[in-house]
A = this chain, B = another copy of it.
Amino acid sequence: MRLHEYQAKGIFADAGIPTPDSRLATSVDEVVDAGAALGYPVAVKAQVHVGGRGKAGGIEIATDDDELREAADAILGMDLKGYHVDRVLVESAVDFVNELYLGVTMDRGEGEPVAMVSSEGGVDIESVAEETPEAIAREGVDPAFGMHPYQARKAVYEAGVPRDVSRAVASVLETLYDLWESKDASEAEINPLMVTDGGDVVAADAVLNVDDDALFRHPDLADMEEESYTDDLERKAGEYGFDYVRLSGNVGIIGNGAGLVMATLDLVDHYGGDPANFLDIGGGAKAERVTNALDMVFSDPNVDSVVFNIFGGITRGDEVARGINDALSQFDEIPKPVVVRLAGTNASEGMEILDTSLVQVEETLEDAVQRAVANAEEVQS
- Where the two chains meet, the residues of A that have a C-beta atom closer than 8 Å to any C-beta of B are 144-145
Contact = CB atoms under 8 A, between A and B. Distances in A.
A144 B142 CA distance: 10
Nearest to A144: B144
Contacts of A145: 144
A144 B145 CA distance: 6
Contacts of A144: 144-145
A352 to B, nearest CB: 46
A151 to B, nearest CB: 16
Copies in the complex: 2
Nearest to A145: B144
A145 B142 CA distance: 11
2 contacts: A144-B144, A144-B145
A148 to B, nearest CB: 13
Nearest to A146: B144
A144 B144 CA distance: 5
A149 B163 CA distance: 44
Q: 2 closest Cβ contacts across the A-B interface? A: A144-B144, A144-B145
A316 B144 CA distance: 44
A212 B144 CA distance: 26
A147 to B, nearest CB: 14
A223 B184 CA distance: 35
A21 B145 CA distance: 39
A145 B145 CA distance: 8
A218 B313 CA distance: 55
A364 to B, nearest CB: 46
A217 B80 CA distance: 50
A260 B379 CA distance: 98
A192 to B, nearest CB: 34
A143 to B, nearest CB: 9
A14 B145 CA distance: 27
A144 to B, nearest CB: 4
A146 to B, nearest CB: 10
A112 to B, nearest CB: 13
A145 B144 CA distance: 6
A275 to B, nearest CB: 45
A113 to B, nearest CB: 15
A43 to B, nearest CB: 40
A145 B143 CA distance: 9
A144 B141 CA distance: 13
A145 B146 CA distance: 10
A167 to B, nearest CB: 20
A20 B51 CA distance: 57
A305 B62 CA distance: 86
A55 to B, nearest CB: 45
Nearest to A142: B144
A40 to B, nearest CB: 45
A36 B114 CA distance: 61
